[in-house]
Amino acid sequence: MVQGKGIWRPILRLWLPLFGFLVFTLFPFYWMVITSLKPNAELYSRRVSPMIVYNPTLKHFVDLLEETNFLTWTWNTFLVAVVSTVVSLVFGTMLAYPLARMKFAGGGLIAFTIAATYLVPQPLLFIPMADLINRLHLGDTLTSVMLTYPTMLVPFCAWLLLGYFKTVPVELEDAARIDGATRLQTMYKVFLPLCTPGFISAGIFAFTLSQNEFLYALIFLTSTDVRTVPVGAISELIRGDVFYWGQLMAAALLGSIPVAVIYSFFVEHYVAGLTSGSVKA
């Protein structure tokens, strides 16, 4: 009996709650997949179980690729996300490094301001942003969102990198300085290479936020040729009170693949960056 209780204890305490959490987490993706594979006869019928696909079809995917500019939206989304992520990482590093390594008056206030800036709601900023974009005559161009996304990504990347930079031992830089390296050489050749997990975690977050951003893209991108996936899918596949659920779920499924691939390849570095991993000398 004691041995039997020992077997059930980890099942009840660990595996059963873990299984419930897994089902709760993956259920939206399961619903998205089965909705994208259902024919319209099953999709809009009340007589068919909503949890099962009886006659799977790829028609919604074919219609999405042939009847909409989904491939163009995907390229626009990827281009905007990559450019915004690179710009945000560069400026975030330039902001976080001196705060992590240099002592100067007002450094703590600047760090607090960075965190406060990231917490400002986007709806409070899109009106002045829209006025600025109109003054620069950049409306309805990808450049408009490439310029506005870093305004919310730079504070986040700087805040995340600041916490990671502080975990890198100062002695490594001191040893390089003793050997004759300048501060810039120390930063580029010693410090930054050790912070790869931090850059990966900040980059994944910035890429994901750029890819999924909706408000600025909805305001600044009006032509179908320059839209991103979130705006294009909502604008083209919702017409009045008619929702093309099959194509919407197909667009959501295909749009989530790039982020899923990136997470799968860099998950170890991503977790290390989030937990402010340690660096061994």
The rounded distance, in Å, linking the Cα atoms of 147 and 154 is 11
Is there a single domain that holds both residue 133 and residue 10?
no
Is there a single domain that holds both residue 192 and residue 123?
yes
User: What is the residue range of 191's domain?
Assistant: 69-274
Q: What is the pLDDT of residue 278?
A: 40
Residue 49 lies in a domain: no
- pLDDT < 50: residue spans in the chain: 1-2, 277-281
Is there a single domain that holds both residue 164 and residue 208?
yes
Is there a single domain that holds both residue 34 and residue 80?
no
Into how many domains does the chain fold? 2
Residue 125 lies in a domain: yes
Q: What is the pLDDT of residue 6?
A: 62
To the nearest 5 percent, what fractions of the chain are helix, strand and coil? 75, 0, 20
- On whether the CB atoms of residues 130 and 64 are closer than 8 A, the answer is no
Q: What is the pLDDT of residue 76?
A: 94
Structure tokens at 183: 């501060």
Q: What is the pLDDT of residue 271?
A: 61
Residue 18 lies in a domain: yes
Is there a single domain that holds both residue 39 and residue 73?
no
Q: What is the pLDDT of residue 149?
A: 92
What is the secondary structure of 56-112 as a DSSP string?
A: ---HHHHHHHHHS-HHHHHHHHHHHHHHHHHHHHHHHHHHHHHHHH---TTHHHHHH
Q: What is the pLDDT of residue 179?
A: 82
Amino acid identity, residue 237? Answer: L
Residue 178 lies in a domain: yes
Is there a single domain that holds both residue 142 and residue 10?
no
Residue 56 lies in a domain: no
Is there a single domain that holds both residue 221 and residue 123?
yes
Q: What is the pLDDT of residue 17?
A: 83
Residue 280 lies in a domain: no
Q: What CATH number should be reported for the domain holding residue 163?
A: 1.10.3720.10
Q: What is the pLDDT of residue 4?
A: 54
Residue 227 lies in a domain: yes
Is there a single domain that holds both residue 123 and residue 190?
yes
Is there a single domain that holds both residue 190 and residue 131?
yes
- On whether the CB atoms of residues 76 and 258 are closer than 8 A, the answer is no
Is there a single domain that holds both residue 21 and residue 130?
no
The values of phi and psi at residue 239, to 5°, are -120, 100
Residue 55 lies in a domain: no
Is there a single domain that holds both residue 235 and residue 171?
yes
Is there a single domain that holds both residue 26 and residue 96?
no
